[in-house]
Amino acid sequence: MEHSEEELKNITSQLGCPEGEHGIKTGEMMHASNIGMTTSAIDALDLQNNQTVLEIGHGNGGHIAQLLSQAENLNYFGADISATIIAEAEKINQDLIPEGKVHFKLTDGITLPFDENRFDKIFTVNTIYFWKNPGEYLAEIKRTLKLNGNLVICFADKTFMQNLPFTNYGFKLYDGEEVKELLKNSGFTVENIRSKTEQIKSKTGEQVERKFHVVVASIK
């Protein structure tokens, strides 16, 4: 099915910052299509008891209970640029919020409203394409990450992404080496990069193979 340029731009806008009724459905779709990548990112965090973790771009938060089960007494913070998606994540995680283990913050996608050395672990899945100034954003991430803390960036490889019709509008695509270089230039030490492939259902319903990377970095 052919989409007009306007429709493709709208898809990009919703993926970057889901809004309204359509945004809620986009959040559900993203959760379903990203769960393999999200699980890989959570595994790479190697969470330990009593740690505080930040997720940038948490979507509808359907995976947060799974994350909290990885260790004892974890403290989760989610930062997102979409008020629609935060409201949805609060609804899905309403039983966890009163316990004080799950917190959500609306952010501007440029700065992070958290103190320095706040987090043991920070992770993000499928958001790097939308970072306006990756170097400055990584400086913000570095500021809020504890010494010896880990950052996990999970993203689909540009060879897969460039075949999607909407990525011409507002996406910056990367391969593993480019993200590695970006991290090094921002003062991170890249611990490892795992590249994986998975079968997912495309928007038009057929099975496609997606290649993605899980990059683990730290500050020493």
Question: Tens digit of pLDDT for each residue in 146-182?
Answer: 999 999 999 999 999 888 776 776 789 999 999 999 9
The residues, ordered by sequence, that sit 6+ positions from 130 with a Cβ below 8 Å of its Cβ are 16, 109, 170, 171, 172
pLDDT for 104 = 97
pLDDT in tens, 99-135: 999 999 999 999 999 999 999 999 999 999 999 999 9
**Cα→Cα distances 4→7, 9, 11, 30, 108, Å:** 5, 9, 11, 22, 29
Amino acid at the residue 178: E
Q: How far apart are CA 38 and CA 20, in angstroms?
A: 24
CATH code at position 27:
3.40.50.150
Which residue is it, tokens 């913070």?
77
Sign of CA dihedral 173, 36, 59, 80: negative
Bridge partner residues of 153 (DSSP)? 124, 215
pLDDT for 1 = 47
pLDDT for 186 = 97
The residues, ordered by sequence, that sit 6+ positions from 69 with a Cβ below 8 Å of its Cβ are none
More confident residue, 71 or 3: 71
Q: Out of 54-63, 191-200, 204-213, which region has the weakest mean confidence (pLDDT)?
A: 204-213
The residue among 153, 162, 160, 154 whose CA lies nearest residue 200 is 160
Token readout for 65 is 């209970």
Torsion angle, alpha carbons of 200, 107, 134, 151, to 10 = -70
pLDDT for 208 = 85
pTM of the complete model? 0.89
How much of the chain is helix, strand and coil, in % rounded to 5? 40, 25, 35
In terms of residue numbers, what domain contains 11?
5-218
pLDDT for 163 = 83
More confident residue, 47 or 23: 47
Domains in the chain, number: 1
Residue 4 confidence class, pLDDT cut points 50, 70, 90: low
pLDDT in tens, 58-113: 989 999 999 999 999 999 999 999 898 899 999 999 999 999 999 999 999 999 99
pLDDT for 20 = 58
